[in-house]
Amino acid sequence: MLDPELLERITARRAELDELEEGLAKEVRAERDELAVAERVLERVSGQLAEERSSDLPTPGQVAGRAAMLIPHREPGVEESTLPPDYQRILTVVRQAAGPVMAREVGEAVGVDISVRAKLEPLRGKLVRLVDCGWLRKLPDGRFTTRL
C-alpha cells in the first residue's frame, strides 16, 4: 500500500509545478507579444526612413505616436526648400537682418505675438532646431545668425 503522506506530497508538488508552468507560459506569451510589437515598430520606422531618404520634401515622422516634422541636416546637396515653410520663413528673416537677431525680433517679423512667452518659446525651439541641424548659428549672447 502507498504511503498517504508521500502521495499527498507528490500531489502538492505536481500542483506547484502546474502553477509554475502556467506562470512561465504567461511570461513567454507576454514576451512574444512584446517582440511582435517591437518588430512592427522597427518595420514602420525603417519604412519611414526609406521614404524620407527617397523624398526631397520634408515628411512628418512619428515620435511617441504623434506626427513630427523632421528637419534635415544642412549638408551639400540639401536645399533650403526641403525645410517646412515656417522654417524657411525663419531663415529668410535671419538672413535679411542687418546682423545677429534675438528670437523676439524673428517673432516680430514672422507675426508671432511676442508679448506672450508661450507663443515665443515654440519659435525659439524652431531656431534651436535650425542651429542643431546646421542651418543657423547661435552666438554666446543668445542671438541667432546665418552659418558662414
Sign of the torsion formed by the C-alpha atoms of 127, 132, 134 and 137: positive
- Mean pLDDT estimate for the chain: 86
Residue 58 has pLDDT above 60, yes or no: no
Bridge partners of residue 101, in order along the sequence:
144
* Rg of the chain taking only CA atoms, in angstroms: 29
Poorest-pLDDT segment among 12-21, 54-63, 104-113, 138-147: 54-63
pLDDT band at residue 73 under the 50/70/90 scheme: confident
Residue 128 has pLDDT above 60, yes or no: yes
* Each residue's pLDDT tens digit, 85-97: 889 999 999 999 9
Q: Is the pTM of this model over 0.85?
A: no
Q: Residues 106-110: what's their mean pLDDT?
A: 91
User: What is the DSSP-derived secondary structure letter of residue 101?
Assistant: B
Q: How far apart are CA 1 and CA 122, in angstroms?
A: 83
And the C-alpha cell for 14? 505536481
* Each residue's pLDDT tens digit, 21-41: 999 999 999 999 999 999 999
